[in-house]
Amino acid sequence: MDPVRIVRGLQQLGVQKRLSYGGEGAPACPLEPVDEKYHQLLLAVNISQKENEHLRQELAKARSMAIDEKMDADRLRSQVSWLQGKR
């Protein structure tokens, strides 16, 4: 399934849920059990997508830090080599 469709499905179900109540003061029509289960699954997928995005961001930060540390280590090695050559 396409993640965009899943999110759209969740948003559309939310709109349908509000519209199903029949307006102000009208009694709320409960969702069918299948619709409720679908809604729960969409929520779970939406949450896992947000968690995955957060993990991707954390991984990108860690990679960036590792690259910076490697560049620092390479620079220090170069300076040590240069200083040893000056002796």
What pLDDT is attached to residue 64? Answer: 95
Q: State what percent of residues in the chain have pLDDT above 70.
A: 63
- Over 80: is that where the pLDDT of 62 sits? yes
What is the Rg, in whole angstroms, of the alpha carbon atoms belonging to the chain? 27
The pTM assigned to this predicted structure is 0.46
Helix (H) or strand (E) holding 16: helix 3-19
- Over 50: is that where the pLDDT of 29 sits? yes
Task: Indicate the average pLDDT of the chain.
Answer: 76
